[in-house]
Every structure is written in structure tokens, then in C-alpha cells.
Structure 1
Amino acid sequence: MHAIKIESADFASPAVQALVAENLADLSARYGGGTGDDTPLTAADFTPPNGAFLVAISDGRLIASAGWRRHGGDAELKRMFTVAAARGRGVARRMLAAVEQSAREAGCKRVILETGNRQPEAIALYESAGYERIEDFGFYAGHVGVLSYAKAL
């Protein structure tokens, strides 16, 4: 893998939507059936000042994504994903740091997120990056296996 560049992207663009589809397929495989994540999202959620959507690019290909949208004074992390071929190389950690910086610059006080108990890699990343468990919130609040986290910015 060559140099990795992280930049803002249009959530509605075909290339981003193809990566999001891969993310949802991964979630569907982990949790069984469905679309993987039924949380209502629109491109406007990731358009400043409402939020931002970032991608990592290597050799002209999108290899990771992460976005945030406003949730009160917080930034809610959504669509954090790294393609299988790029995992284990620190890409997700770089993406998480870029989201945190973007949210901080937009005046958010913390990043919050929902993940699931069948995503051990994500849980390990968030906990090692200083995220702590909080009361469940959002679309999947109260669902079995949901884990919610937050980190002050």
C-alpha cells in the first residue's frame, strides 16, 4: 500500500456510496440479514455545518471512510469502515483522528458512537483511542448487543 491521503468527500457520490455499500454488506454478514444498518442517514447529515464525511485514498482507490453528524452539541460518528485489504495498517486510527479533528474544529465537545458486540476490532480501536462506554442512544438504543461510546474533544 502506498501513501494514504485523507480528504473530505461527498457522501452522495457514486464512489462513496460503493464504499458505504461494502460497509453495510460487512455489517450484514456480521449480524445476519438486513441491510447491516438501518439508521436513517442523508447526504445533508454530512454537509457542513451539519457534519462532514471523510475518505482515505491510496493508489486512487477509496480504502476507508468515516463521517460525523451533529447530535446536539456532539458529533456522532457514522460509517466508519476500512476495506479488508487495508486493515491492520493504522488506517482506521488515522480516520478516527481526522474525524475528531474535524468535529473539534466545528465546535463539537465530544464524539459519540454506536457499535455492536460483533465488531471486536472497532471496540478495541475505540477503547484504545480513549472512548468510554455511555448510555445507549440513537437508532439502536435498547437493542441487544449495542455498545455506545463517547470521547471528549
Structure 2
Amino acid sequence: MTSAPELTVIEVPVSDARVEPLLRELGDEYSRRYGKDAHAELARYPDEEFTAPYGGILLLLIEDGEPVAGGAFRRYDDTTAELKRIWTHSAHRRRGLARRVVTELEREAGARGYRRVYLTTGPRRPEARALYLAAGYAALFDTEADPETIGPLPFEKHLAEPDHTGKASTL
């Protein structure tokens, strides 16, 4: 695995044209893995849920402005952000970009006052399951069970409390 390249991180609205490839490829991939059209599921949440002050969409851009990875978060409850739509373009995988997306989403969620992050992934996404475990997320399911018998696999991670300077400190 090569190290992640230098990238620009930007926050954009759902309507930004650079988000469309993210959602299209993600929907196509989910549709292939689960055997049903997943595009409607991706459109299930109103765009407003992914806008400040409660949520956001972050994209990682290479030098020419092409999105190579991204993800979103939304308000789950008063203290919890829910990560959604984490994606790396198929031509840019295995380079640490998804991990960088998760880190950036956690940073931004923490800056908005969230103290916990929650997410789910599908049982047919073993690479996502491995990513979240490696990133310090606790599985909220029996990791020894067959994922197909569980359905969506829930995870959580508690974020560090900010210190008196507003910067995150370790717990």
C-alpha cells in the first residue's frame, strides 16, 4: 500500500457537481453487492441533513480538482454524528484515502460539538468493517457471528473532549 497523496479537503453542499460521481459510483457498487438498486437508499435522507450546522459533506480532491474520495455526516442525536456515504473512487483505492476521509469527518464532527460518532456498514463490505475496526471504532455487534445474519453492522467511536484551548485532547 502506498501512502496517501497530498490532497485538498473541502466541504461542499450535496448539490455540488463533484458529489454526483461519489453517489453514482457508491450506488452502483452497493447495487452490485446486494442485488437491488441502492440509489434510492442513498437519496433517502434530505440534503439538509448534510449541511451545517449539523452535518456536512467532505471531499478529498487531487490537484486538478477531481474528487477521489469523500464522505458525509449528519446529526444522529445531540452528541452523536452519523457517518454516511464514505467512498473512494475505484481508481484510487488501497491508498489510505478512506481512512483519511474518516479522520477528516471525525475532526469536523468534533469541531461541531459532537462527542461520539456512529455508523453502519453492510454485511457485504468486509473492507469497510476492517477499516472501522482499524480506525478505533467499537463494533456494536457480535464480530464472531455471520455478518449476513446481522444486517447493517453498527459501530461507534467516542471522540476526545476539547481542552480549554478548543483543541482535542486525549481522554
Is the pair's TM-score, using the shorter chain for normalization, greater than 0.5? Answer: yes
**TM-score, length basis structure 1:** 0.88
Matches within 5 A, 1:30-69: 30-35=33-38, 38=41, 40-58=44-62, 59-69=64-74
Taking the aligned partners of 2:50 and 2:112, their CA distance within structure 1 comes to 12
Which of 1, 12, 15 in structure 2 is aligned with 1:12? 15
Contact 1:93 1:125 in 2 (8 A): yes
Aligned-residue sequence identity (percent) comes to 36
Please, which runs of 5 or more residues in structure 2 have no aligned partner?
Answer: 142-148, 160-171
Taking the aligned partners of 2:134 and 2:150, their CA distance within structure 1 comes to 23
State how many pairs are aligned.
146
Which of 26, 31, 43 in structure 1 is aligned with 2:29? 26
**TM-score, length basis structure 2:** 0.79
State the match for 1:92 in structure 2. 98
Contact 1:6 1:54 in 2 (8 A): yes
Contact 1:26 1:36 in 2 (8 A): no
Taking the aligned partners of 2:102 and 2:150, their CA distance within structure 1 comes to 25
Contact 1:27 1:37 in 2 (8 A): no
- Taking a change above 3 Å as real, the CA distance of residues 37 and 91 of structure 1, as seen in their structure-2 partners, is farther
Which of 105, 109, 113 in structure 2 is aligned with 1:107? 113
Contact 1:46 1:52 in 2 (8 A): yes
Q: Secondary structure at the match of 1:15?
A: coil
